[in-house]
A and B are shown apart, each in its own frame.
Chain A
Amino acid sequence: MGKGERTKTKSQSARDKIREQQAAQRARDQRKRVITYVTAGAVAVAAVGLGWWYAASISKSEEATAALAPVTVQADGTAVMAKSGVTAPVVDIYEDFQCPACKELERVSGQTFKNLAAEGKAKVVFHPITIFSQEPTKSNSVRAANAVRCTADGKQWLAMHDLLFDNQPSETVEGFKVDQLKQWGQEAGADPATFDQCVTSQKNAEAHLAYSKKVSDEQKLTHTPTVKLNGTEIDNQVLFSPSQLRDEITEAAK
């Protein structure tokens, strides 16, 4: 081996070494990048998951705990749900059977109202009203409110109330049709002999609209659902969070 040749090999191997080191460095960098990327992605996905879980958990509905408190229908068309002797705190629910947010309230917090009444912790008063002034929503709302007034007792009233929200029609079509109302009336246990006639003739429509106007003016209602605890409106955030709602109402009971 000549001297020159050896030098050549030497520089060759040095160059290889450098190249190897560079490759290793690149691989390390690449690995670091992948780790950073995956970590950032995982954190972002976790944040979305956590936020979703939080939203779902604050909106989590209660389970039915006990038999329903007795419901008594009042002369003005409202219905009181309370154990006998419970007169406070008073929870007034102003709702429209056609209003989607009212349906949402029913879905999220309806059971909490029922449970609190059943536990004797509140006197719940349902006030069905009609807030819509345009068609088809106005007539839908009035037909539904008329039908719930056609029921014969509190038990039927509440069953009908729940059925109406469960079957709320779209706001763009004619819904709560007479035939549907008759059928739900039967499901709620109403006697078709009297109920059907009452639904068809819209016997209570005028009384309902009159009450609706009166109570909206008196209570200065601007939107539904409006829920008042001893006369003070409950904040929406509390209203749609069953556990906070329960706390606020039980606190008022003390």
Chain B
Amino acid sequence: MTASQPSPKARTAIPWVTTVARLVLGGVLIAAGALKIGNPADSVVAVKAYQLLPETIAVTVGYALPILEIVVGVLLVVGLLTRVAAVIAALLMLAFVFGIAWAWAKGLRIDCGCFGGGGQLGAGQEPTYLLDILRDFGLVLLGVWAVRFPPGRFALDGALGLGGDNRDDEGDDD
């Protein structure tokens, strides 16, 4: 940390902010994954609707995405491997932002499939791309925060001594 030392107040607040970021991001991921995991076919159709990935890769992603979201979400909520989990979560959200922006730019009329469902919209339904992008971008920021200041309060990483706020003196490149 080359920046000036944060004030004592900030030093107390930062881990709590991380905890909130972890819980929100993790919670969203768990919900998103849980709503999709029972129906791999729906998930595959939702991924294909973006017309972004070749057929076989879209199928693999459709099968893997729900469980990946759940596992990363659980890691974030319990604060285990916080930094790695937060990196993956932030990258996932960034990929979603990109995907939705792509669908928007291409003029596709699809449901983002973020929380199950997905695919083409029916008549009278309007896509909510801007809202989806803003939400996911907000989640990217929470992820970045958790990457920068892991693991926050109430984290298994802290309890197990796996880096974070109890090792301030060792730098932050662990």
**Known contacts A52-B63, A56-B63: does B119 contact A37 (CB below 8 Å)?**
no
> What would 23 A/B residue contacts be, using CB atoms closer than 8 Å?
A37-B81, A40-B80, A44-B71, A44-B81, A50-B67, A51-B66, A52-B68, A55-B43, A56-B60, A56-B63, A58-B40, A59-B40, A59-B63, A100-B45, A100-B48, A100-B120, A104-B41, A104-B44, A104-B48, A170-B51, A171-B120, A236-B42, A240-B39
Residues of B34-84 whose CB lies within 8 A of A? 37-45, 48-49, 51, 60, 63-64, 66-68, 70-72, 75, 80-81, 84
Choose from A32, A47, A104, A171 the contact partner of B67 (Cβ within 8 Å).
A47
- With an 8 A cutoff between CB atoms, is A41 at the interface? yes
* Cross-chain contact A29 with B81 (CB below 8 angstroms): no
Closest A-B pairs by Cβ, 6 of them = A51-B67, A240-B41, A55-B63, A55-B40, A52-B64, A47-B71
CB distance from A244 to the nearest CB of B (A): 12
* Cross-chain contact B40 with A240 (CB below 8 angstroms): yes
**Across the interface, which residues of A come within 8 angstroms of B49, CB to CB?**
100
Residues of chain B whose beta carbon lies under 8 Å from any beta carbon of chain A: 37-45, 48-49, 51, 60, 63-64, 66-68, 70-72, 75, 80-81, 84-85, 106-109, 119-120, 123, 160-163
**Across the interface, which residues of A come within 8 angstroms of B40, CB to CB?**
55-56, 58-59, 240
CA distance A56 to B64 in the complex (A): 9
A70-114 interface mask toward B, CB cutoff 8 Å, 1 = contact, 0 = none? 000000000000000000000000000000110011001000000
CA distance A82 to B10 in the complex (A): 73
CB distance from A59 to the nearest CB of B (A): 5
Residues of chain A whose beta carbon lies under 8 Å from any beta carbon of chain B: 29, 32-33, 36-37, 40-41, 44, 47-48, 50-52, 54-56, 58-59, 100-101, 104-105, 108, 133-134, 137, 170-172, 236-237, 239-240
The secondary structure that dominates the A interface is helix
CB distance from B118 to the nearest CB of A (A): 10
* Cross-chain contact B38 with A48 (CB below 8 angstroms): no
Choose from A40, A50, A59 the contact partner of B41 (Cβ within 8 Å).
A59
**Across the interface, which residues of A come within 8 angstroms of B72, CB to CB?**
44
Q: Which residue of A lies closest to B43 (CB)?
A: A55
Choose from A36, A44, A58, A101 the contact partner of B162 (Cβ within 8 Å).
A36
Choose from A40, A48, A58 the contact partner of B81 (Cβ within 8 Å).
A40
